[in-house]
Amino acid sequence: MNIFELLTSVSRLGIALIVAVHTSKNSADELSMRFGSPPKVIRDWQRLGKFLFSPTTPKKTASEAEREEYRADLERLIKIRDIAQRDELSVDKLCTIFKYVKQLRTDVTTTRTQLFLELVTQAKRLSWTELNAQAKDRTRQLNKSSSFHPTTRANLSAVDGEGNRYLTARFVEKQFSDIAEYINVQVKAQQTHRSGRTDSHIRGDVILKMLREGMTPLPEATPNKCNCTNICTCSDNNTLRQKGLEPCAIMFASELFNGTERKAFSLTDGRTIYERIDDKLSNHGWAVVYDDLTLQPEVAVRIERRWFNTKHIAMASAHQILCAHPDCTEQARFGQGHHIVDFSQGGATTIENLAMLCPRHHRECTTKRARIQRNNQGELEWVYFSSGKARVNHMPVRRLSAGELVKLYADSIAHPVYAAA
């Protein structure tokens, strides 16, 4: 019997495992040591065993209707146990059903044993994913008739081994919908090309900023109601910035082509107007040229200083072949361009400041777990902040990279070396 057959046989003993845990005199910690499962999982098994085999008996003052309902629950529990044993349901499926049965409100017409019996009858023909979705939808549908109003709840964990805390919260949809919309708008506005940051990273930063600085309410949508004749004043500057519509600078083409030397005009901080425009454009991805007669946009130009262009990527990919991480074998041409000195810190978008990283290791650098630097020989070094050690990718295949081939033959010839990528 191989390992798969063994696991299949064990998975069919779901109800037998619940019986063994329920009748055991050992604590959850002791059973955890025995089964090798976390204590939380063992406690879930114990609660399921109590529900199936030791239901709460009615009080002496209970009415006859309550006693009749108790007897009906006992009959349904017997059917549930028989079906679970007959269909050889796994303990995971039984715990999934019990998870949603516990969420059923007590004031609805369907009882928890009725819902359990309904779901356990369908469990054999459904996969775990399908059963989970079916149980969730059925419980949500039944709870709609409940008079119970859900409340907001939040839990804050202790500091873990990496120095992080986890915030888990539950909000009522009607009360949280506008906040959720605000967060989604902010996340979408901060997504940048090849940033390496996932939506989860951005969402965490947005929520942290909201907690510290508060939330500016989003304006209500008023389509086709603008009565402005020239410049729209319906939205303030903050709203325009949120939508990414902040213009950098305005300059007419006639002033450039007619020889007006605006670059000689100095600003109060000592910079010329061109330097000011160059600085403002660095925060945006496009420059749009307008015709000064028709006042209509004529052409849009990509500002390549912010993002590496295809030539940069091609040169760096041929030069490295692999991701700059010392243990990574991902091809550089499928990776992402990373500023060695961050763009926001004044790093130039040049080949000297470029390192090709796969998405996974690019994310580690953008989330400040590691960084890239160049050593005295110009090689890319990966540095973990935790250890401080610097390592270079010396995978054997890198001997075929343009950078290694050039170094190999550069000393033996007198003319410049050309590497075709």
Its pTM stands at 0.44
* Helix/strand/coil for 20: helix
Comparing 154-168, 259-273, 282-296, 397-411, the range with the smallest average pLDDT is 259-273
Confidence at residue 352, expressed as pLDDT on a 0 to 100 scale: 86
Residue 172: band (very low, low, confident or very high) from pLDDT cuts 50, 70, 90 = confident
pLDDT tens track for 362-389:
988 888 888 999 988 888 999 987 778 8
Mean pLDDT of the chain: 78
The arithmetic mean of pLDDT across residues 274-285, rounded, is: 59
Tokens linked to 376? 């005295």
Report DSSP letters for 142-201, one per residue: HHTT-------EEEEPPP-TTS---EEEE--HHHHHHHHHHHHHHHHHH--TT----HHH
pLDDT tens track for 1-53:
567 777 677 677 888 888 888 888 888 888 888 878 888 888 999 999 999 99
Indicate the DSSP class of residue 343.
Answer: G
Comparing 293-297, 320-324, 370-374, the range with the smallest average pLDDT is 293-297
Tokens linked to 270? 């000592």
> Does 86 have pLDDT greater than 70?
yes
Q: Which residues contact 187 (CB under 8 A, 6 or more apart)?
A: 199, 202, 203, 206
Paired sense of beta strands 354-357 and 370-374, if any: unpaired
Tell me the C-alpha to C-alpha distance, in Å, between residue 132 and each of 48, 111, 157, 256: 17, 19, 27, 66
Can you give the C-alpha Rg of the chain in angstroms? 32
Confidence at residue 119, expressed as pLDDT on a 0 to 100 scale: 94
Comparing 196-205, 289-298, 340-349, the range with the smallest average pLDDT is 289-298
Paired sense of beta strands 390-391 and 380-384, if any: antiparallel
Nearest to 392 by CA among 323, 319, 313: 323
Domain boundary assignment for the chain: 3-143, 167-218+233-246, 247-302, 310-410
Confidence at residue 51, expressed as pLDDT on a 0 to 100 scale: 92
